Amino acid sequence: MTGTGADPVVLARIRDEIRGHRRFVLSSHLRPDGDAIGSELALADALSALGKQVAIVNCDPAPPAVAWLPGAERIRLAAAVDEPFDVAIILECGELSRTGVSGLDRGLVINVDHHPGNTLYGDVNWHDGAAAACGEMVLDVIDALGVPLTAAMATAIYVAIVTDTGSFHFSGVSPKTFDICRRALEAGADPVNVARRVYDSNTVPRLRLWSAVLGTLDVEGSGRVAVIRLDREMAARAGASFDDTEGLINVPLTVPEIVAVAFFKEAEGGRLRVSLRSKGDIDVNAVAASFGGGGHKNASGFTVDGPVEAIRPALMARLTAALAAAGQATSP
Alpha carbon distance 73, 40 (integer Å): 12
Q: How far is CA 11 from CA 126, 133, 141, in A?
A: 8, 17, 7
| pLDDT at position 5 | 59
Neighbour-count burial for 175-210, b at 16+ CB within 10 Å, e otherwise = ebbeebbebbeebebeeeebeebbeeeeeeebebbb
Q: Where in the chain is the domain with CATH 3.90.1640.10?
A: 8-199
> CATH assignment of 8-199?
3.90.1640.10
- What share of the chain has pLDDT > 90, as a percent? 80
Q: What is the mean pLDDT of residues 44-54?
A: 98
pLDDT digits (tens, 9 = 90+) for 249-308: 999 999 999 999 999 999 877 789 999 999 988 999 999 999 999 888 888 999 999 889
Q: What angle do CA 32, 34, 39 make, to 5 degrees?
A: 90
Instruction: Tell me how far CA of residue 242 lies from CA of 64, 75, 265, in angstroms.
Output: 11, 21, 8
Given a contact cutoff of 8 angstroms between Cβ atoms, the answer to whether 25 and 81 are in contact is yes
The answer to whether the predicted template modeling score (pTM) of the entire model surpasses 0.95 is no
For residues 218-228, average pLDDT: 93
How large a percentage of the chain has pLDDT more than 70? 97
Mean pLDDT of the chain: 93
- Confidence label for 1 from pLDDT (cuts 50, 70 and 90): very low
Reported confidence tier of residue 315, pLDDT bands at 50, 70, 90:
very high
**Cα 236 to Cα 27: distance, rounded to the nearest angstrom:** 31
- Reported as a single tens digit per residue, the pLDDT across 171-198 is 789 999 999 999 999 999 999 999 999 9
Alpha-carbon span 286 to 116, nearest angstrom: 10
CATH of 204-325, one of 3.40.50.720, 1.10.150.20, 3.10.310.30, 3.30.70.2750: 3.10.310.30
The pLDDT tens digits of the residues spanning 112-170 come to 999 888 999 999 999 999 999 999 999 999 999 999 999 999 999 999 999 999 888 87
Q: Which residues pair with 274 in a beta bridge?
A: 264, 302
The CATH 3.10.310.30 portion of the chain extends over: 204-325
2: pLDDT strictly greater than 60:
no
Q: Which strand (E) or helix (H) includes residue 228? A: strand 225-230
